[in-house]
Structure 1
């Protein structure tokens, strides 16, 4: 396995970049893993909140999905909390609607899917990224079903899991032949959520090993491939390539988080 190379942010190279996880700062930074460029974005529960977004609010209760980060950004209210970064947030149908568990502002839009089937989403185990208050988690779908009784503030189901309890997904090779622009999320033991998007095509296995071996994240969830996109206002990056479905926003916290 290759070592991670230099990691940079707006301030240039970070010291000790070979040992990336301890050096990751809140916000987005660039790095490489086995010659593939990555952008890694860190959400800290002491500094940030996370929420999902699907469609504009209307008098009828909800319009068609945004379908892009650019549309969401263009219609962002000046009074809204500052967006630190945003990503696409999981699998969706042809109309941009979520096909698995999806919760926005504490309201459930789509129920949990536990069925097997074709495609990445049904490559079991799949999983859920969710949070309530200042606690964020990634759990496999069956773990979520059996152990989470209170509805979270936000939640999105996708698949497959990349890392499950510190092990690679059993159906994922170390570095398979399928190469796509891909993004994912995992949560450190410290409670920070670590989002990664590849800036060149990457295999499932390489992305999964980055989470397991470099970031030391015990559970990581694949969000999507090919359509994967990032909005990073700090660097003025606003991807707008393919229509997407649910969005996930990391915003600057405006109040002190409640103690767990």
Structure 2
């Protein structure tokens, strides 16, 4: 990670780097990295579904939305669990409810949203679903899930629907304009050829097309799903708990003594 020549900014970058190194050392198979891409800082967390505990969290047992990483961490710690990395799990409504399909612990808590031609990134076609099964994960377009809901839902331990798909079978979404000036902070989940899951966030504004290029060409992902925009954050980072509450969370957790 190139360091700024500005003293205050240089120290901030060093602190972020030290934080990441400390977490990586304790994270086991999950790997945290930082990239510099077209003058944009991008953080990633690479997860092996066969080794790491990858889960989604929305509400606590009392029905209260976690909303922040700190709230989820505070709930996990008395159970002897630590959060290795986490990010928001997709687009939600004003009541912090997932806008589309949401499955947690094998239970469907929000139904598949098959609406099309509506406003917003969620409805930019094709959209899709990130599905976590036993020992593996998939990103599947909404139409495919809708065509055989019984099959896909019976296999899903966790799932979140969002949109648009950024990559499908190594191809960038044709709706993305290479010359777009719509630049935003963005986060996504993608899957590489080794079937590892990568959570990624561009910490500086970036276009859909350039972010998809990074996911494909630098991370070698073949399938990718956009999660959200300017509200997006990733744990660990200095700004992880700054900003508004969001809906569900994708998190990698481990027992505190490992």
For 1:226 and 1:105, how far apart are their aligned partners in 2? 28
Counterparts of 1:6-85 in structure 2, within 5 Å, are 10=21, 26-58=30-62, 63-85=63-85
The aligned residue for residue 191 of structure 1 is 195
Q: Which runs of 4+ in 1 moved over 3 A?
A: none
CA root-mean-square deviation: 2.3
Whether the 8 Å contact between 1:27 and 1:85 is mirrored in structure 2 is no
The aligned residue for residue 168 of structure 1 is 172
For 2:137 and 2:49, how far apart are their aligned partners in 1? 8
Whether the 8 Å contact between 1:181 and 1:226 is mirrored in structure 2 is yes
Distance 1:77 1:26, change over 3 A: closer
- Pick the aligned partner of 2:246 from 244, 247, 259: 244
Whether the 8 Å contact between 1:5 and 1:33 is mirrored in structure 2 is no
The aligned residue for residue 201 of structure 1 is 205
Deviation at 1:78, TM superposition (A): 2.7
Q: Structure 1 stretch 121-130 or stretch 75-84: which is displaced more?
A: 75-84
The aligned residue for residue 213 of structure 1 is 217
Whether the 8 Å contact between 1:87 and 1:249 is mirrored in structure 2 is yes
Deviation at 1:94, TM superposition (A): 0.3
Distance 1:115 1:227, change over 3 A: same
Q: Structure 1 stretch 161-170 or stretch 235-244: which is displaced more?
A: 235-244
For 1:52 and 1:79, how far apart are their aligned partners in 2? 16
Unaligned residue ranges in structure 2 (runs of 5+): 4-16, 23-28
**1:121 matched to 2:132:** no
Unaligned residue ranges in structure 1 (runs of 5+): 12-24, 255-260
The aligned residue for residue 25 of structure 2 is none
- Name the one with the larger helix percent: 2
SS at structure 1 position matched to 2:81: coil
- Pick the aligned partner of 2:181 from 177, 180, 196: 177
The aligned residue for residue 92 of structure 1 is 92
For 1:114 and 1:80, how far apart are their aligned partners in 2? 39
TM-score (norm 1): 0.82
Distance 1:147 1:217, change over 3 A: farther
Whether the 8 Å contact between 2:233 and 2:239 is mirrored in structure 1 is no
SS at structure 2 position matched to 1:76: helix
For 1:198 and 1:90, how far apart are their aligned partners in 2? 15
Deviation at 1:57, TM superposition (A): 0.6
Deviation at 1:82, TM superposition (A): 2.7
Q: Structure 1 stretch 93-102 or stretch 74-83: which is displaced more?
A: 74-83
